[in-house]
Amino acid sequence: MNARDVWITGVGLLTSLGEGGEAHVSALQANAGTLHIDEMTYAPYPIYPLGDVDFGKQIPKKSDQRQMELWQRVGVYASGLALADSGLAHDPVLLSKTNLIVAAGSGGRDTAVDSRILDTMSSTTETELLAKEILPTALRPTLFLAQLSNLLAGNISIVHNVTASSRTFMGEEMAGLAAIENAHRRITSGQGDIFLVGGALNANREDLLLGYELGKNLWAHPYKGVWSRKEKGGGFIPGSAGAFLVLEAREHAEARGRKPYARLCDVVTDCCRRKPGEATRALGSLFDTLDVPEGPLAVMSGASGVEPIASEELEFLQGLDERGYQVAIHAHGSQIGHTVEAHFPAGVGLAALALANGRFFAPSDENWVETEFEGDSLSRVLVTGAGHWRGEGLALLERVE
């Protein structure tokens, strides 16, 4: 059987830059300056919060909204944007054929409850006894469902009626790589025709900051772009985001008269052990499996700013110059923050928007790592996804004429 083409027929983005394709294209095509960063609330850690969102536009029932933590509302909202963008929303027949793949971490804890317990416990050593006495009364019964990783998918099914199948992948950035890769493989092989794929992150969470700071992964200084953090040891700035895509077999899209943003030619992934230099080599080997013609090459980089992986990825990208590619890099993490599970889907979505517009995004960093794309026309974009700790992946997108 010949591999089937995979088209991107819907993009749903909700980030600190706003919502929808147009808001993102105009923000990213202008030079930086439109960043929406909060450096105060969790100082010294900056985060990218969302602006005001009227969640009722995508989640009409207040009772549904109440059942969700913010990351779930963000994800359900962005997935609704993608479904509407692809002409699937409110079409029961198509929605019942749509497969769902979500890349997820988990929802926020009740940090007020946690803090109260910790303060009480500091006067005694009976950790578990105290927790036991307090937890049963302090925890909201429904909080568990708002935290559970697969309940973002569950809520998408409930609110938007996506029901063909539902799978949630976990594992930080690797979850996003797995989600896009799995959808691509199932479509090319004929195991599915249409997929809603993506993830969501709420950066406005102290427990999330704690989790990543335990591994010394956060940027704890005033804002700098992802390529300019090395001298202070690197780190990522969490970004709130929902990023969902509709991926569809070309025949299926054509049969219902949909035009694509772009073709998702291939997705390749690996997981090396991250010995020095290993990630650079892994990305290089993955690139060798893609069929990329020499010449100007636009790269949507998922670099987080965490070291040494940011430098290792840059070494791979700059090494492409010697192989006949004139690489123009744009790291979306500088503008929307690092969105972890949602970051690779966001990169693929932004690359698709750029291709549909025929124009790549403007350089956004202060170190001249990023340059203007100098090709005559934008015909393909390489998307990178190197996890802050584990996981390497590349996606290649092509313009559809």
Question: Footprint of another protein on residues 82-121 (CB under 8 A)?
Answer: 100, 104-106, 111-112, 114-115, 117-119, 121
Binding residue for another protein (CB under 8 A) from 37, 53, 164, 265?
164
Binding residue for another protein (CB under 8 A) from 90, 120, 144, 259?
144
Binders in 196-215 for another protein, by CB under 8 A? 206-207, 209-211, 213-215
Check residue 38 for interaction with another protein (CB under 8 A).
no
- CB contact burial 347-357 (16+ within 10 A = b; e otherwise): bbbbbbbbbbb
- CB contact burial 74-106 (16+ within 10 A = b; e otherwise): bbbbbbbbbbbbbbbbeeeebbebbbbbbbbbb
In angstroms, give the least distance from the CB of 164 to another protein. Answer: 7
Q: Which is nearer to another protein, 157 or 364 (CB)?
A: 157
Q: Which is nearer to another protein, 30 or 210 (CB)?
A: 210
Check residue 240 for interaction with another protein (CB under 8 A).
no
Binding residue for another protein (CB under 8 A) from 145, 290, 362, 400?
145
Q: Which is nearer to another protein, 210 or 255 (CB)?
A: 210
Binders in 53-72 for another protein, by CB under 8 A? 67
Q: Which is nearer to another protein, 21 or 176 (CB)?
A: 176
Cβ atoms within 10 Å, residue 18: 17
CB-facing half-sphere around the CA of 125: CA atoms within 13 A: 0
**DSSP states along 200-257:** EE----HHHHHHHHHTT-B--SS---GGG-GGGTB-B-BB-EEEEEEEEEHHHHHHTT
Choose the binding region for another protein from 78-86, 165-173, 245-253, 375-383 (rule: CB under 8 A).
Answer: 165-173
Check residue 157 for interaction with another protein (CB under 8 A).
yes
Check residue 37 for interaction with another protein (CB under 8 A).
no
Choose the binding region for another protein from 55-63, 140-148, 319-327, 353-361 (rule: CB under 8 A).
Answer: 140-148
Encoded amino acid at 122, one letter:
S
Packing angle of the helix pair 206-214, 111-121 (nearest 10 deg): 60
Q: Which residues contact 305 (CB under 8 A, 6 or more apart)?
A: 219, 225, 226, 227, 229, 234, 235, 236, 237, 333, 338
d(CA 163, CA 154): 10
Check residue 308 for interaction with another protein (CB under 8 A).
no
Check residue 148 for interaction with another protein (CB under 8 A).
yes
Binding residue for another protein (CB under 8 A) from 84, 162, 203, 283?
162
d(CA 38, CA 229): 18
Q: What are phi and psi of 274, to 5 degrees?
A: 65, 35
Binders in 315-354 for another protein, by CB under 8 A? none
d(CA 258, CA 157): 23
Check residue 288 for interaction with another protein (CB under 8 A).
no
Binders in 5-24 for another protein, by CB under 8 A? none
Asked if 236 contacts 212 with a C-beta cutoff of 8 angstroms, the reply is yes
CB-facing half-sphere around the CA of 367: CA atoms within 13 A: 14
Q: Which is nearer to another protein, 218 or 369 (CB)?
A: 218
Q: Which is nearer to another protein, 33 or 112 (CB)?
A: 112
Check residue 238 for interaction with another protein (CB under 8 A).
no
Q: Which is nearer to another protein, 298 or 383 (CB)?
A: 383
d(CA 28, CA 24): 6
Binding residue for another protein (CB under 8 A) from 46, 154, 296, 305?
154
Check residue 34 for interaction with another protein (CB under 8 A).
no
Cβ atoms within 10 Å, residue 143: 16
Q: What mask of x and - would describe binding to another protein in positions 370 to 399, judged by CB under 8 A?
A: -----------------x-xxx-x------
Q: Total number of residues binding another protein (CB under 8 A)?
A: 83
Binders in 167-196 for another protein, by CB under 8 A? 167-172, 174-175, 177-178, 181-182, 185-186, 189, 191
Cα separation of the two ends of the chain: 25
In angstroms, give the least distance from the CB of 120 to another protein. Answer: 11
DSSP type of residue 147: H
